[in-house]
Amino acid sequence: MIVVTGATGNTGRPLVEALLAAGEDVAAVSRGGADFPAGVLHRKADLGVPDSLEAAFEGADRLFLLVRDQALDIAPVVEAAADAGVGRVVLLSSETAATRNDESQLRFEAAVTGSGLEWTILRPGGFASNALLWSESIRRGRSATAPFGDVGMPIVDPLDIAAVAAAALTEDGHAGREYSLTGPELVTPRGQVAAIGAAIGEPVAFVEQSRKEAYEQLLRFWPADVVEASLEVMGRPNEAERRISPDVERVLGRRPHAFAEWARRNAAAFR
Ligand SMILES: NC(=O)c1ccc[n+]([C@@H]2O[C@H](COP(=O)([O-])OP(=O)(O)OC[C@H]3O[C@@H](n4cnc5c(N)ncnc54)[C@H](OP(=O)(O)O)[C@@H]3O)[C@@H](O)[C@H]2O)c1
């Protein structure tokens, strides 16, 4: 059985579906209530509450680990997984572990790579699903505000992250690997908004924001340190953060999805 944490999120939900379609037994973990396809076991647990983990991991031999709280000590989580019989862990980390020496992500990675379990580390760049922050303003006023409108980044589709995670959980040959996950091309915030407009069949205005305005807006969704770090990457990406990685194609045997494909698949969120 495969336990998927973060199972109601951008990556976890398509991962649960992919594993189910591949005929795997899946237990989906999140703190809140959730609707999953028939056949998926939903287990409520909080990664920050060690007592909730034994029941969450019962019967599992593989684990997809997604940690939302950057301050969390995940050693007890990895220990509980190993005690339950998990032998393989796929960790969703971030490119910032490599490009910004991100202490939280490096700490999560060390807990997994030092666990004695078989591991694969996924290091994605910025997610296409971050564009959902614009859903309300596009629905209501056909406009989207963002800073750094002309800085292109190789935005990655969470569906591709989920597909790589599914491969690492179900196939051999991924143990001890770190995969850098990006989309197939650089796309600017202005370009993303245009792609969403094309997906809904109506023009959407792009309104450039100052860094300060963006900081205040993003604080409504993410903790301050995450906002600060994200703005640094968005505004002043280094060479490694603008590099298009071959890893999605190497693992899946197909090109990663372009942002425009994500926008078409998620058009309903912006109509
Ligand atoms: N967004 C980006 O551009 C980006 C880039 C690189 C890396 N990342 C990494 O990607 C991850 C976010 O992935 P995502 O967008 O797929 O997630 P998401 O959509 O934000 O969903 C988070 C999931 O985690 C669950 N969750 C949150 N806190 C939990 C806890 N304490 N215990 C158990 N479950 C918990 C949530 O469900 P409940 O609320 O019901 O518990 C939900 O299922 C983060 O680790 C982030 O560092 C993101």
Residue 32 in contact with ligand 1 by CB distance below 6 A: yes
Mean pLDDT calculated for residue range 206-233: 93
What is the 3-state composition of the chain as percent helix, strand, coil, each rounded to the nearest 5?
Answer: 45, 15, 35
Q: Output the CA–CA distances (angstroms, integers) from residue 233 to 37, 96, 153, 241, in the order listed.
A: 36, 9, 9, 8
Per residue in 93-147, pLDDT (tens digit) is 999 999 999 999 999 999 999 999 999 999 999 999 999 999 999 999 999 999 9
Confidence of residue 203 (pLDDT cuts 50, 70, 90): very high
Cα 30 to ligand 1 centroid, rounded to whole Å: 10
Give the chain's domains with CATH numbers. 2-124+158-181+245-254 (3.40.50.720)
What is the residue with the minimal CA distance to atom 44 of ligand 1?
68
Residues 6+ apart with CB under 8 A from 73: none
CA distance 11 to 24: 17
Residue 154 in contact with ligand 1 by CB distance below 6 A: no
What is the residue with the minimal CA distance to atom 32 of ligand 1?
46
**Cβ burial, residue 42 (10 Å; 0-12/13-18/19+):** middle
